Structures are given as C-alpha cells and as structure tokens.
Amino acid sequence: MSVTTLTSPALAVRQPGWIVRLFDYKPFLIVMCLAPAIGLLAVFLTYPLGLGVWLAFTDTTIGQRGVFIGFENFQYLVKDPLWWNAVFYSVVYTGIATFGKFALGFWLALLLNNHFPFKSLLRAIVLLPWIVPTVLSALAFWWIYDPQFSIISYLLVDVLHWRSTNVDFLGTPWPARFSLIAANIWRGIPFVAISLLAGLQTISPSLYEAAMLDGASAWQRFRYITFPMMMPILAIVMTFSIIFTFTDFQLVYAITRGGPVNSTHLLATLAFQRGIAGGELGEGAAIAVSMIPFLVFATLFSYFGLARRKWQQGEAND
Amino acid sequence: MAWDSRARRVMMIYLPLSCFVLILLFPFYWMAITSFKPNAELLNYKEHNPFWITSPTLAHIKHLLFNTAYPTWLKTTMFVAVGSTTLSLFASTLAAYAIERLRFRGSPYVGLGIYLAYLVPPSILFIPLATVIVQFGLFDSPMALILVYPTFLVPFCTWLLIGYFKSIPYELEECALVDGATRLQILRRITLPLAVPGLISAGIFSFTLSWNEFIYALAFIQSGANKTVPVAILTELVTGDVYQWGALMAGSLLGSLPVALFYSLFVDYYVSSLTGAVKE
C-alpha cells in the first residue's frame, strides 16, 4: 500500500506531528485499535475463565489460598443430591422456558408481521419486558405470586370462583418451579418475537405469491416457506436463548433464592450460594464449571440441529 | 364476505395480539398501581377493587426517597452505567474499525473471537472474577463494575458496529486518503460521523444492559452506598418477613423509569439495530 511510502520518511524526521504519523503506520494503528478491547477481554474474561477452571480443582475458600485437589470437588458434587437437583431443574427450566418462548414468540412475530395501524408503536411496547431490569420485573412477579395477596389468586377465587383457596405459588416445589418458568417465558418473548420478526421480513413476498397461485393453503405456506426460511435465524436465536436461560441467575435469586427446600436452584444460584455466600470458592467454581459441558452440548444441539436443514432452502446438506 | 374476512381478521390477529399486549404489560401496570396504593387498600381486596386505586398516595415514593438510600443507589447505578458504556463504546468502536476497515490477515478470526466472548455467561465467571477484583483492590468499588461490564458490552457493541462500518462505502475513505488525510483524521472526520446511528444504538444497548446487570453487582459490592438499584432493592429493602410491597414496587418502578425513558427516546434505533443485528 502507498501509506508506508508516505510515512517512512516522515518517521525519520522528528516533527511535531510524528505521533499522528506513527498512527498512519498500519500495523501500529491496528494494534492500538485492538488493544483496549482485547486488553479488557483478556484481563476480565479470558483470564478469569482459566482461573475458574483452575479454582474448580482446588479447595480455595474466601481468605485462604487453596491447593490442587484434583477431581475431589467434582466427586463430591456427583454424590450431592442438591447438585443433581440443580442439574435437573436447570434442564427442565431451560427446556420448557425455551419451548414456551419460541412457540409464543414465533406466534407474536407472525402477528406483528401483519399490516395494521400503530404497528411501530406496538413493536416498541412489546419490547418493554426485555428492556426493564430483570430483577425489577422479577420483584413484580414475586408480588403477583404472593401467597396471600396474589392478584392471580384473587381472580381465580373471588372473581371467577374457580377455586376456593389461594394458590400457593412459591411455597411448594412444583408450583414454584413453574411460576419461575412462566416469569422467564414472559421476559423472553419480546426478544424472540422481534428477532424472528426481522427474519420474517427478509422472506420475499414473491415466494408466497407463487405458492398462492399453486393453491397452497395457509398452513402449507407456513410449513414449506416460512418455517424453512426461518431455520438459520431460529438456530442463532435459540442458541443464544438456551445459553442464557441455562445460566440464568437473577430471576430465581430474586423470586425464590432457590427455595422452597432447594427445589428451584439453578446451577448458577447454587454456585453463588456455595461460592460467594458460603465462602467455598473452589466448590462454587466447580459447580459453575460443571455448566460448561451442558452449554456446549445444548449449543451444538440447537445450532447444528437447526442449521443442518439448509437443504430445505435448496442448498447442499453439509 | 367482507364482514366474514373482517371477523376472521379480528379473531386471528387482533384478539391474540391484545392478549399478548395485556399479558406483557400487566406486571408493569401492577407495579405502577401498587406504588401509589395506600397500605389499607393494598392489603384489602374484599372492600377495594385491587385493579384500581381510590385514594392514590405518594407515601411509598416519599419513604423511598427520604428514608432510604435510594437516591444514592440511583446515582451509583447511573455512574456505573455511564462509565461502562463510555469505556465499551471507546474500546469497541476502535476494535470494530480495525476489524472491518483496516483489514489485516486474521481480522475475521479476531472478530469471531470477540463475538465468542459474548457467549461466555457471567454465571460461569463471577467466582473467579471476584478473586481477580480482590487482587486488584477493587472489591466493593463501583470502578470494579465499570471495568467488568465491558466483558459483555464490548463483544455486543463490536458486533453491532462492524455491521455499521460495513455499510459505509469504502470510496469515501479512499478519497480522503488520496487527499492526504491521516488515518486518524479519516476515522474522526469521516468514518465516525457516518457511524453515528450505530454508535447511538450501541450506546443504548450498553446503557440498558449495564443498568440491568445483577450478578456481578451482587457479588462484588458489599456496602449499601455502592450498590446498584437492582441489587440494593433486593438486599436492602427486603427486610424481615413483612414485605413493604408499596415501597418495593415504587423502587422497581423508579428503577425502571430511566431505562424506559432512554429507550423510548431512541426506540427506532433500538428496534432497527436489533433487527439489523439479527439479519447479519
């Protein structure tokens, strides 16, 4: 490139503008531009990730440097019913919540893809649950699920007379588990809907026109045009959704803190309880690290399970 | 026939759509109405219709603003959000510029690497990060949050800005280069001004994401004054067995307002960049 020939004589002479000219030297400029981002990520992401894996193999506690103990933490976890409980609920939570978010979010996206007045206003309103801090909306859900003053109980008991007693949403394991899943779905719908709406808008209308001419029904148009065309974007959004649902923390911590009787612990809340609140950094790190295999598996499953179906768009499969 | 298709449209589109809007907005309505309800109405559904307020009161908000450290928490949260947003915008603009505009061998891999960083969830990092923060002597300091939040903001913003830089024609930069402008001049006078919409949306995303962040703020901050709103409400306002629902909901409402306001000012950027980022 011509830049180097322009700058090299200038570098030899130390003029006031030499710093500016140094920035014209491309390799230097590249390094300088990447330094802040890479530096931040290296110090506060890559290094802690490595440190976390190391901690998982030590018996570190708060205030005390630990020693390497091999797989002892993991051997302990495998025998710990609470860890299995958290694994079980994390999988259930992720599975049902992801399914709910995508079913409802896809439906909402299809609805928003129609023409009607105030469309952009509606889109803006629909995104609100995703904008507002999760903990703050979780608190609203906590209040909605209140054992005595739940508005849902009020509707069921006093307005509709479907039940005679209040629902104990958060006091017993399975209702608590489903209450949290419902809150998670509520929060996830907007993001899924808006992302999928973006995908829907990239589908060419001529495909639908051609299908209409061939006499395809609404269901056939969805099944053979919309669905396959949405596969790539579904794969990406679902991969994200699975990762962040599986490692969710705030919602559970804000509403139940893992209770009642530890039935709603996710791996992340269990790791916090043991690692930070309990001071057992090594064990907490081991619980956090134990999420990684599940994450890798879920990511590969969702990404390749969906993205592999490229042949539906007329491309070769693998 | 016309009537039939209109009825069908109502049943298939407007009815489900209204249900969605109702359910998605209800928790906010409930949050708002609880914030202004006097305690007598709040805990008595038999004599008062819970969906409405007969004698609204500002008592909960007053309590929050004058009897708790709420204003301090708001200030801390604002400080942290602005600080981490500025830092992230600075770092990711430069990174996106280098990756998309300076094109070097391996630049796609650097881009991919930064993108992959977004997939590392905070739930895995907070324990080792806590020890790193202690080593740096930053424990219990808002500075820790400002430095740590970029780990999820930078990947996101860089990814978004790469898309924006891609849409700016190369010819503009080449012309300036031919005219003898330095690379830094080109960045400052041509590329950045053209990328302003991208910078705005990256800024809004960063601001809302850092306002929202919870687990790091919970793990790294101990003293009441340095807590961010989400953490403080949960750890300082929830005391004992009798919950102050009025104050709690008022706190949630006030804590949501800054992001909601910020969001509504720039909503078009927000939605378009969200859809744009997904389309990439």
Q: pLDDT tens digits, residue range B189-229?
A: 888 888 888 898 899 889 999 999 999 999 999 988 899 99
Phi, psi (deg, nearest 5) at residue A64: -140, 125
Structure-token pair, residue B197: 């919409």
CB contact under 8 Å between A149 and B42, yes or no, is yes
CA distance A81 to A249: 20
B240 touches chain A (CB under 8 A): no
Q: Which residues make beta-bridge pairs with A58?
A: A68
Terminal Cα-to-Cα distance of chain B (whole angstroms): 42
User: Model confidence at B242, in pLDDT bands (50, 70, 90)?
Assistant: low
DSSP string of A146-161, one letter each residue: -TTT-HHHHIIIIIS-
A284 and A278 Cβ atoms separated by less than 8 Å: yes
Contact: A33, B30; criterion CB under 8 Å: no
Q: Contacts of residue B99 in chain A, CB cutoff 8 Å?
A: 34
Here the tokens at position A214 are: 């061939």
C-alpha span between B56 and B142 (Å, rounded): 36
Q: Are the beta carbons of B120 and A194 separated by less than 8 Å?
A: no
Tokens of A303: 């990404």
pLDDT for residue B1 is more than 70: no
Binding-face residues of B in 217-236 toward A, CB within 8 A: 218-219, 229-231, 233-234
CB A280 within 8 A of CB A293: no
The partner residue sitting opposite A197, judged by closest CB among B25, B230, B275, is B275
Beta-carbon contacts below 8 Å between A and B: 277
Q: Is the pLDDT of residue B46 over 80?
A: no
Closest residue in chain A to residue B51, using alpha carbons only: A151
pLDDT of residue B240: 65
Tell me the shortest Cα–Cα distance from A54 to chain B, in angstroms: 9
Q: Using an 8 Å Cβ cutoff, are B265 and A131 in contact?
A: no
**pLDDT digits 0-9 by tens, B192-202:** 888 888 898 89
SS3 A124: helix
Q: Is A33's CB within 8 Å of B102's CB?
A: yes
Instruction: Indicate the angle between helix axes A227-246 and B267-279, nearest 10 degrees.
Output: 110
User: Residue holding tokens 């500025």?
Assistant: B86
Residues 6+ apart with CB under 8 A from A254: A134, A135, A138, A139, A142, B234
pTM: 0.89
Question: Which of A46, A60, A140 faces B31 most closely, judged by CB atoms?
Answer: A140
Question: pLDDT band at A307, cuts 50/70/90?
Answer: low
**d(CA A210, nearest CA chain B) in Å:** 22
Residue with tokens 């690692």: A275
Q: What is the ipTM of this complex?
A: 0.89
Say if residues B121 and A266 touch (Cβ distance below 8 Å).
Answer: no
- List pLDDT tens digits, range B101-157: 888 888 889 988 998 888 899 999 999 999 999 999 999 999 999 999 999 999 999
Q: Which residues of B16-35 are buried (b: 16+ CB within 10 A; e: fewer)?
A: ebeebeeebeebbebbbbbb
Q: Residues 147-206, chain B: which have Cβ within 8 Å of A? A: 147-148, 150-151, 154-155, 158, 177, 182-184
Residue A285 clears pLDDT 90, i.e. is over it = yes
Whose tokens are 């740096």? That residue is: B136
pLDDT at B275: 63
- Give the pLDDT of residue A316: 44
Q: Are A140 and B27 in contact, with CB atoms under 8 Å apart? A: yes
- Compute the distance between CA of residue A97 and CA of residue A180 in angstroms, rounded to an integer: 9
Residue A102's pLDDT band (cuts 50, 70, 90)? very high
Q: Indicate the helix (H) or strand (E) that contains A165.
A: none
Which of B123, B182, B256 is the closest to A271 by Cβ? B123
Cβ atoms < 10 Å from Cβ of B40? 12
CA distance B271 to B280: 14
In tens, the pLDDT along A110-155 reads 999 888 888 888 888 888 898 899 999 999 999 999 888 888 888 8
The string of pLDDT tens digits covering residues A183-223 is 999 999 999 998 899 889 888 889 999 999 999 888 999 99
Spatial CB neighbours of A102, under 8 Å, sequence gap ≥ 6: A192, A234, A238, A241
Tens of pLDDT along B149-183? 999 999 999 988 998 888 888 888 888 888 888 88
Which tokens hold the place of A296?
Answer: 């890798």
Query: Do A270 and A287 contact (CB within 8 A), yes or no?
Result: yes
**A171/A128 Cα distance (integer angstroms):** 29
Residue B94 CB-half CA count within 13 A: 19
Cβ atoms of residues A187 and A134 within 8 Å: yes
Flag whether pLDDT at B98 surpasses 70: yes
For residue B16, say if its preceding peptide bond is cis, omega within 30 degrees of 0. Answer: no
What are A34-68's pLDDT values in tens digits? 999 999 999 999 999 999 999 999 998 888 888 89
Separation CA A139–CA B252 (nearest Å): 7
Judge: B91–A26 Cβ closer than 8 Å, yes or no.
Answer: no
Distance from C-alpha of A290 to C-alpha of A139, rounded to nearest angstrom: 29
% of chain A surpassing 70 pLDDT: 91
More confident residue, B62 or A3: B62
pLDDT band at B34 (very low <50, low <70, confident <90, very high): very high
Mean of all residue pLDDT scores within chain B: 87
**pLDDT at B169 (0 to 100):** 86
Radius of gyration of chain A (CA): 26
Residue whose structure tokens are 């977004």? B118
Between positions 84 and 103 of B, the ones with CB within 8 A of A are 87, 90-92, 94-95, 97-99, 102
Q: Which of B90, B259, B275 sits opposite A198 (nearest CB)?
A: B275
Lowest mean pLDDT among A199-203, A245-249, B23-27: A199-203
Question: Helices (DSSP H) in A13-57: which residue ranges?
Answer: 18-22, 26-41, 47-56
Buried b (16+ CB within 10 A) or exposed e, A141-163: bbbbbbeebbbebbebbeeeeee
**Residue A168: its pLDDT value, please?**
87
User: Which chain A residues are Cβ-neighbours of B275 within 8 angstroms?
Assistant: 194-195, 197-198, 201
What is the per-residue pLDDT for A247? Answer: 94
pLDDT at B26 > cutoff 80: yes
* Cβ separation B151–A45 shorter than 8 A: yes
pLDDT band (50, 70, 90) for residue A14: very low
